[in-house]
Amino acid sequence: MRPAILLTICTLSVLLLVARGSEKPSPAPVVAVGVAAASDLIRSGAGTEKNTQFIAQVAADFDKEDNIVVGCKSGVRSELACADLMAAGFRNVKNIEGGYTAWVENGLAVKKSQAQDEL
């Protein structure tokens, strides 16, 4: 058994796999919403879908005895992910209480991508 820690930052994105031939898809127009509308959409749960492959993806990389730490922005979705992992037999699963927000508020290290530094 190898020591492992998985920190999963849950986002509102959904992984879509599209099988296409050699045709190039035309880009869809970008839809913009203001911050108030975006906040309303996030609160309503619009656009969020449970990753049906989550357990299989974790099981592909981790043993059921490995230490796994799961987090998201606020700690709510990661708590649900922890419950799913434990129901699937993973024994050493922990949720980051308060999520990424609490992590940052407590001054813990955050590594930003170069693109974020340029903003």
Q: Is residue 22 part of a domain?
A: no
Q: Is residue 47 part of a domain?
A: yes
Whole-number percent of the chain with pLDDT over 70: 71
Confidence class for position 12, pLDDT limits 50, 70, 90:
very low
Residues β-bridged to residue 70: 95
**Number of domains within the chain:** 1
pLDDT recorded at residue 26? 64
pLDDT recorded at residue 46? 66
pLDDT recorded at residue 115? 67
Structure tokens at 40: 């309303």
pLDDT recorded at residue 24? 56
The chain-wide mean pLDDT, for the chain, equals: 77
Q: Is residue 5 part of a domain?
A: no
- Tell me the per-residue pLDDT of 33-79, one tens digit each, with 9 for 90 and over: 888 887 887 778 766 778 899 999 999 999 999 999 999 899 999 99
Of 45 and 110, more confident: 110
Q: Is residue 6 part of a domain?
A: no
98 exposed, middle or buried (CB, 10 Å; 0-12, 13-18, 19+)?
middle
pLDDT recorded at residue 8? 36
Of 14 and 99, more confident: 99
d(CA 113, CA 60): 26
How many alpha carbons lie under 13 Å from residue 99 in its C-beta half-sphere? 16
CATH of residue 42's domain is 3.40.250.10
Q: Is residue 111 part of a domain?
A: yes
Residues β-bridged to residue 92: 67
Instruction: Tell me if 88 sits within 8 A of 55, measured CB to CB.
Output: yes
Instruction: Tell me if 74 sits within 8 A of 57, measured CB to CB.
Output: no
Q: Does pLDDT of 104 surpass 90?
A: yes
Mean pLDDT of 89-109: 94
Q: Is residue 93 part of a domain?
A: yes
Q: Give the range of the structural domain holding residue 72, as residue numbers without chain letter.
A: 35-118
The residues carrying an active-site annotation are 72
